Structure 1
Amino acid sequence: MSMLDTTAHILKLMVTLKGGIRISDVIAHLGMPKSTASRVMNQLVSYGYIEKDDAKGVFLPGPLMVAVSQLINRQAPLSDLVDNALRSLCEQTGYTGYISMLDSQEILVLRVIHGRQTLPIVTWPGSRSPAWGTSTGRALLARLSDTELQAFFHSPTVAAQLNGGSHQIDKLVAAVNRTRKEGFASAINESVADTASVSCAIGDPTTHEAVAFCLSFPQTLAQPQELQRIAALLKETALLIAEKTGDTLVSHQP
């Protein structure tokens, strides 16, 4: 096996194991003798492909790989990756696509991609709505830590929107937690009448950006089987984008 092949196999092993690897992983998965594995790993460290975390005893992507990743991110920003993927989904399904971001306690619509199916109401770019009342909002709220989520729901703006109802907050937090578990959020006849939507969120750890993308369609089509089909398409798309951005919040979801 050439050094190039060996390097590729070791980097793929990091991707497969989703984190740092040890010499023992290289020996077990690639069938290398211990002396060869140690020599190869030391060479890759010297080239900058990997680096060793002495405290944890694992090897991680090195400065050269990080620099290449940052270059890729600059060439293919998150918004372009999501836009291209969502356009493909809109063409495939005929549904309308939205890209939105979390702006303080509200969801801000950034982009609309029209589908073949006619919607009763179209939400235009620049439109705002309470984040807790939309599928895109819940998809983005699911990315927050528990502390951040509690701060969001107890902010003066959200408290005023909910009229201080603690029971309602409990239900909304449960909905966000369900989104975390399932990897997507859905809404039927909520903030937009007679309309359903399914959403996922994706981020770029390098730029700290995060957006939600969704497919929206008439409520009459929102049967359980169709909701699951659309959710599967969106989750698969989110995972593909996460592989490019390094978004572990998506790639670690079931």
Structure 2
Amino acid sequence: MSILETTASILKLMVERQGAIRISDVIHHLGMPKSTASRVMSQLESYGYLEKDEIHGTFLPGPLIMSASHLVNRQLTLNDHVDAALRSLCERTGYTGYISMLDNQEILVLRVIHGRQSLPVVTWPGSRSPAWGTSTGRALLARFTDTQLHDFFASPQVVSQLTGSQQDVSMLVATVARTRDAGYATAVNESVADTASVSCAVGDPATHDAVAFCLSFPQQLATPEELQRIATLLKEAALTIAGKTGDTQVSSPL
């Protein structure tokens, strides 16, 4: 391998292991001779790509990598990352994309990206809906702890929304739990008639922001196979964004 391929493999190994690595890890996982591994790690440390913990003998990304990462994170917000990913998915699928956030127990639409497939109804930026009744809302609620979720459903605004709606709180909590396990949420002919959507949520631990993004399409296209295909695409995008923001809540396997 070239030095660039070797460096990339070592950094990928850190990402896969979600932490510091030792020279023995490089030897074992990359099949590198001990002498070569020691030399390469020493060189990468000297150039600032790696930083060594002398006490534990482990390596983490060095000051050069961290400085470059900080520069990118400072220039690109969570919404920037999500917008770029969603635009690519809208172009790929032809479906309409939405970026939304939770605001006062409601889901607030921030942005709409129009696709080639026409929708019966388009939800415009600034629109609000009960969070429990949308796929984007449930994707964001799935990031809550059990205590936070209990407080959400006990809040006066949500209690008022649920009054007379024939919605059962225990069933809604179970739906959010399934969303948490699956890593995505779906809605078919719910808050928007004749429309289906699939949503994922991502966050930025540094700013404590979180947004949901979804693809929306006509209900007649919402076969189980299509829902799963779109869910896979969205989860791949969410994992990529989470890798850039450091969001550890997006970690479920595809």
Into which bin does the TM-score normalised by the smaller protein fall? 0.7 to 0.9
List per-residue Cα deviations over 1:27-55 (Å, max 9, x = no partner). 32244566775676577567654456799
* Residue pairs, 1:113-132, within 5 angstroms: 113-132=113-132
Aligned to 2:193: 193
Find the aligned partners of 2:249 and 2:15 in 1 and give their Cα distance. Answer: 15
Partner of 2:65: 65
Report the CA distance shift for 1:24/1:154 in structure 2 as closer, same or farther (over 3 A).
farther
- Structure 1 equivalent of residue 244 of structure 2: 244
Residue in 2 that maps onto 1:154: 154
Mark the CA change 1:215 to 1:6 in structure 2 (over 3 Å): closer, same or farther.
closer
Structure 1 residue 76, shift from structure 2 partner: 2.6
User: Pairwise CA RMSD of aligned residues?
Assistant: 2.9
Query: What letter matches 2:15 in structure 1?
Result: V
Q: Give per-residue Cα distances to partners, 1:107-163, cap 9 Å, x unaligned.
A: 110011122222221111001111111000111111222222222222222222223
Instruction: Compute the displacement of 1:190 (Å).
Output: 1.2
Query: How far apart in 1 are the matches of 2:205 and 2:40?
Result: 29
Q: Distance in 2 between matches of 1:89 and 1:176?
A: 24
Mapped partners of 1:160, 1:54: distance in 2: 58
Q: Give CA deviations for 1:159-202 in whole Å, capped at 9, x if unaligned.
A: 2222399x822211111111111111000111112211111112
Aligned counterparts, 1:207-218, within 5 A: 207-218=207-218
Gaps of at least 5 residues in structure 1 are: none
**Partners in 1 of 2:93 and 2:233 — Cα distance?**
10
Counterpart-to-counterpart distance in 1, 2:13 and 2:91: 35
Whole-angstrom CA distance in 1 between matches of 2:178 and 2:160:
24
State the distance in 2 between where 1:242 and 1:75 align.
16
CA distance in structure 1 between the aligned counterparts of 2:233 and 2:247, rounded to whole angstroms: 18
Match in the other structure for 1:101: 101
Task: Verify the 8 A CA contact 2:140 2:210 in the aligned structure 1.
Answer: yes
Verify the 8 A CA contact 1:181 1:253 in the aligned structure 2. Answer: no
Give the stretch that moved more between structures: 104-113 or 2-11: 2-11
Aligned residues: 253
Of 65-74 and 136-145, deviating more is 65-74
In 2, Cα distance between equivalents of 1:42 and 1:159: 60
1:97–1:115 contact (8 Å) kept in structure 2? yes
Match of 1:12 in 2: 12
What's the secondary structure of 1:249's corresponding residue?
Answer: coil
CA distance, structure 2, for counterparts of residue 99 and residue 66 of structure 1: 29
Alignment CA distance shift 1:4-1:113 (3 Å): closer
- 1:49/1:127 CA distance change after superposition, 3 Å: same
User: Would you say 1:141 and 2:141 are equivalent positions?
Assistant: yes
Partners of 2:183 and 2:252 within 8 A in 1: no
Instruction: Provide the rounded CA distance (Å) in 2 between the counterparts of 1:144 and 1:55.
Output: 37
Amino acid in structure 2 at the alignment position of 1:181 = D
What residue in structure 1 maps to residue 172 of structure 2?
A: 172
Separation (CA, whole Å) in 1 of partners of 2:187 and 2:28: 46
Aligned to 1:233: 233
